[in-house]
Amino acid sequence: MKVLLIGANGQVGKRIVRLLKDSNDHTLRAMVRSEEQAEALKNSGMEAVISNLEGSVEEIAEAIKGSDAVIFTAGSGSKTGPDKTLLVDLDGAVKSMEAAEMAGAKRYVMVSAFQAHNRDSWKDSPIKPYMVVKHYADRILMTTDLNYTIVRPGGLINENGTGRVAAAENLDRGTISREDVARTVVASLTEENTYKRSFDLMSGDSTVEEALKNL
């Protein structure tokens, strides 16, 4: 598949870049925000495009054009305010869905957040506004014609991945390495059992492939 990765300069994004760079099954176009980031990727042999989720749907569609799939692993992060949470994590995400449809990329893999589908699980959370945004971005994705997969990882950590995960509609809260999130996202691209599905993701006992097949 030709894959357009939104958030390619992020912590999960960089790990997905590494996996796709070595992949025999996929080719990557990395979407980043700055000339400097694009140059760094190009210098290591990657295709890169500059686009911003705060730009227009048409601009994002231009970045996606020619791709079969979009992976969304962007996020405004905890250091910016609620305005950016709305503009990037919600409106930016939804614009990228519209752009994928406009550009004819049918497959869409979203990196969401643990239990984003379940309001009860974050009703007293200090990051409730972020969870609301992830919840509605996911809900809107499910109303599109895109062939989506929504991956809802637990707390992200930077330890080495184990390649062992748990994936299910509902899991107990825990953590997962960004490397294992990246592996799961890449494996989901072609695992048909994840098509039009959403699931919580945590470190666990199964290989990524087994976990996705047994969802």
Nearer to ligand NAP, 85 or 194 (CB): 85
Considering the candidates 130, 136, 148, 195, report the single residue annotated as catalytic: 130
- Closest separation in Å from C-beta 9 to ligand NAP: 4
Nearer to ligand NAP, 102 or 213 (CB): 102
Among residues 71, 61, 7, which one has the least CA distance to residue 33? 7
- Closest separation in Å from C-beta 6 to ligand NAP: 6
Site residues (vs ligand NAP, CB under 6 A):
7, 9-13, 33, 52-54, 73-77, 88, 92, 111, 113-114, 153, 155-156
Report d(CA 121, CA 157) in Å as an integer.
21
Among residues 160, 156, 159, 215, which one has the least CA distance to residue 187? 215
Nearer to ligand NAP, 7 or 161 (CB): 7
- Closest separation in Å from C-beta 193 to ligand NAP: 22
- Burial tier of 3 (Cβ tally within 10 Å: 0-12, 13-18, 19+): buried
Contacts of 165 (CB under 8 A, 6+ apart): 176, 180, 183, 184, 201, 202, 203, 204, 206, 207, 208, 211
Q: Which residue is nearest to ligand NAP (CB)?
A: 10
In the residue annotation, 130 being an active-site residue is answered as yes
Catalytic residues: 130
